[in-house]
Amino acid sequence: MSKNKKNQNTSENQITEKKNVSFLEWIRTHPTLVVGIIGVPLIIFILENFFGFGQTLFGGDVMNVGKINGKKIDRNEFAQRVENQVNMYRQNSGKEIDDNTRSQIVDYVWNQYVSEYAIKPQYEKIGIIVGADELYQNVIVAPAQSVLQRISDQKTGKIIEQFARPDGSLDVNKWKNAIQNIQGDQEMAVKQMEEEVRQMRIAQKYSALISKAVYVTSAEAKHILAEQTTTANVSYVMKRFDAVSDSAVKVTENDIEKYYKENSYEFNNPEATRSLEFISFNVVPSAKDLEDIQKDAVRTAEGFKSQKTLSEDSTFIQQESENGAITIQDFTHKTMIVRDSSIYTSPIGSVFGPYNEGAYFKIYKLEKIQNLADSCRVRHILVGITDPQTNQPKRTLAQAKRQADSLITLIKEKKVTFDTLVKTFSDDFGSRDKGGDYGWFDENKGFVEPFKMAGLTGEKGNITAVQTQFGYHIIEVLDVSKTHHESYKIAQIFKLITPSDETNQQTFAKASEFAGQHNTGELFDKGVEKEKLTKRIADNVRESDRMFPGVESAKEIVRWAYTANTGDVSVFSLPDKHVVVKLAAIKNKGTLPLDVVKNEVKAKVIIQKKAEMFSNEFKNAGTSPEQIAGKLNLQVQTQEKFVLASHNIEGVGHDDILVGTIVGLKNGATSKIVTGENGVFVAKVNSLAENTQQQDFKMMQAQIMQSSAYKAESAIFNALKELANIEDHKSKID
């Protein structure tokens, strides 16, 4: 090897090392870094959220949850990644996870594997890299959105104070110093953040390569623009396939086998699915259930009458109403929900109901009647109990009251103006610059109740202090409307009309009896027909599906379907029904066998035979739409100003073959006999009207390129996933 060649290789290796070195090591030697230790304890707390993500804790040849590009996905590793994400969700949201969220997390983790084994290898093949300079820019100088989310308050969305400037934006120096001075385990968290940004930038570059490779010529743009602006007056005659019943067409087994052999590509199944047939035994309240619930509602109504205060009513409602919900709302004559008009003249404390209102028996109590202004305008000073900037405790409620009382005295004695106190004292930053004034509002405004009522029940010039969860508001009524109305405060108790356990058990017994007596596919079909039950079909159910039409909570049914044999029957209990399910067909990936798609093939053969029959009728009837219509007793359909870029045509609807035929005809030309999506037809273009005005095809060219780029990107990713021969069994974890 020559000396120059050796030096060149050495130089290239050094460049590669610099491009792939961790930015964390690189920025520590970067000359622009400000040395210092800022907020180290806080960043340790923040970065703890990164720990454990994506780590493999178990190895070995254990049960897998799928295969991507020939690589098995270890079940234990997959489960650990899911649990890591679940724990992160709990920490960030403070909530316990539900089934729907868990399913979303399982899908998210699975897509990470798809990206890792099916998509990322393509990045490596074409040599896409992200260097340290680029990482430094996207993590430190101008952090990517994923980084900003990590250093923002989850509730407010604002940058955490230790990393923020006074205006709330990111202080890059503080952020750099914090990153520079982390130690030990926290380095792993930063490197994981770095890797997340690296992969994001690689994906963005790959997408850019795809989109930039798409080009639309000016000739294409002009042609498409012409189709969108050219109209035609057309006529056509069509004999629809539904003009002859399917039963009138004779189809033999040889016909079916021949069509399947010649068109087997039509029956390719891209992924394994199942076809299910099921009947539902809905659990509905019996007459006795309704009677029992009504008796309990009557008892509740009597008890409601004996409660004397709003506080007692609230406690009673919580004890008696569905899910302990306390519902107390204000209504007007226009919005009143109580059906008894005597509520407008009844004394406070009157109880109405119970009323059967569909899903509930409802009981109402008149708590209060107020005369309110239709609208009002106030200004206020908030003496808050928390600091609006730090959200930390500022004063106790008692201290806030004393402060508010003192300020009211100063205002009334005219020792200080309201405007001055708003600007210098109010803890409501949302209205401080407006003099504490939120403008006119009515009772539907989303302000807290005491605040609203101080204005709507007050008189112009009133100054009062009212307590809310924010502290004490010093409120001055600036003006009220001349018109007023009565407001009725109504407390509500809901008694859910639901089936009893006894009714549920009886319904389950019926479903179980049917399943036991009709425990094969053949017996199931006979039982449905004999008992005149409504059978529903769920076709192409994937292993990852958690619902299908008619069944929202289908996880257990789908799991069973992927372990059962064709014709197996089983019964499942759901929250509102019991379903008896038959596994009608197993559709494996690839070309489906004839016995699985026989009905579909037969339907296609029937259409084929109808098309042949109708075409022969057309041949003997003439060449123009008018001649054929006259001979075959059909009607000529016409459409004026048909836009060539359309997909629908009057009298038929969607039929791309008919539309495509019209677009391909010259002015005055008549088509041959053509088999369309809806029937056999002959079409004619009677006249064409082209737009002769000069048009901006450059804009059309840009729009098509953008649209094509999106489609190309999606198509390439789908192709990569298809080539990866993915086997998805993640439902073993979910």
- If we measure between CA atoms, which residue out of 671, 714, 506, 586 comes closest to residue 273? 586
pLDDT by residue (tens digit) across 159-174?
Answer: 888 888 877 788 888 8
Q: For position 17, what pLDDT does the model report?
A: 39
Residue 393 phi/psi, 5° resolution?
-55, 135
Q: For position 10, what pLDDT does the model report?
A: 41
pLDDT by residue (tens digit) across 246-284?
Answer: 999 999 999 999 999 999 999 999 889 999 999 999 999
Q: For position 54, what pLDDT does the model report?
A: 34
Percentage of residues in the chain with pLDDT exceeding 90? 56
pLDDT by residue (tens digit) across 597-648?
Answer: 999 999 999 999 999 999 999 999 999 999 999 999 999 999 999 999 888 8
Residue 278 DSSP SS3: strand
Lowest pLDDT segment from 36-45, 569-578, 655-664 = 36-45
Q: For position 571, what pLDDT does the model report?
A: 97
Tokens of 491: 């407390």
* Cα–Cα distance for residue pair 300/493, rounded to 1 Å: 9
Going from N- to C-terminal start, the domains of the chain cover 18-211, 231-264+596-689, 271-283+501-588, 287-372, 375-482
Q: What is the mean pLDDT of residues 689-697?
A: 76
Contacts of 181 (CB under 8 A, 6+ apart): 36, 37, 38, 40
Mean pLDDT score of the chain, rounded to an integer? 87
Q: What is the mean pLDDT of residues 563-582?
A: 95
Higher pLDDT, 45 or 568: 568
Give me the sheet containing 71-74, strands edge to edge: 71-74, 64-68, 727-728
Q: What is the mean pLDDT of residues 522-544?
A: 94
For the domain made up of 271-283+501-588, give the CATH fold.
Chitinase A; domain 3 (3.10.50)
Which position has the token pair 């004559």? 333
How far does CA 645 lie from the centroid of its chain?
32
With b meaning 16 or more CB within 10 Å and e meaning fewer, what string describes 328-353?
bebbeeeeeebeeeebeeeeeebbbb
Q: Domain 231-264+596-689 is in which class?
A: alpha beta
Q: For position 700, what pLDDT does the model report?
A: 85
| 239 and 632 Cβ atoms separated by less than 8 Å | yes
Which position has the token pair 């112009």? 460
| 491 and 503 Cβ atoms separated by less than 8 Å | no
| 271 and 589 Cβ atoms separated by less than 8 Å | yes
pLDDT by residue (tens digit) across 474-532?
Answer: 999 999 999 999 999 999 999 999 999 999 999 999 999 999 999 999 999 999 999 99
Higher pLDDT, 388 or 564: 564
Tokens of 502: 């006894």
Q: For position 15, what pLDDT does the model report?
A: 37
Residue 180 DSSP SS3: helix
HSE (CB half, 13 Å, CA atoms) of 670?
14
Q: What is the mean pLDDT of residues 120-124?
A: 88
pLDDT by residue (tens digit) across 192-228?
Answer: 888 889 888 998 898 888 888 888 898 888 888 888 8
- In the chain, the amino acid numbered 182 is I
- pLDDT of 53 higher than 50: no
- On the question of a common fold for 271-283+501-588 and 375-482, the answer reads yes
pTM passes above 0.75:
no
- pLDDT of 237 higher than 70: yes
pLDDT by residue (tens digit) across 8-48?
Answer: 444 444 433 334 444 444 444 443 433 333 333 344 333 43
Contacts of 528 (CB under 8 A, 6+ apart): 279, 518, 535
Q: For position 39, what pLDDT does the model report?
A: 39
CA separation, residue 734 to residues 77, 558, 574 (Å): 14, 12, 18
Read off the pLDDT band of 99 (50, 70, 90): confident
| 410 and 416 Cβ atoms separated by less than 8 Å | yes
| 47 and 186 Cβ atoms separated by less than 8 Å | yes
CATH 3.10.50.40 fits 375-482, yes or no: yes
Tokens of 100: 């729907």
Q: For position 609, what pLDDT does the model report?
A: 97
| 386 and 392 Cβ atoms separated by less than 8 Å | yes
* Cα–Cα distance for residue pair 489/368, rounded to 1 Å: 5
Read off the pLDDT band of 95 (50, 70, 90): confident
Percentage of residues in the chain with pLDDT exceeding 70? 91
* Cα–Cα distance for residue pair 239/612, rounded to 1 Å: 12
- pLDDT of 62 higher than 70: no
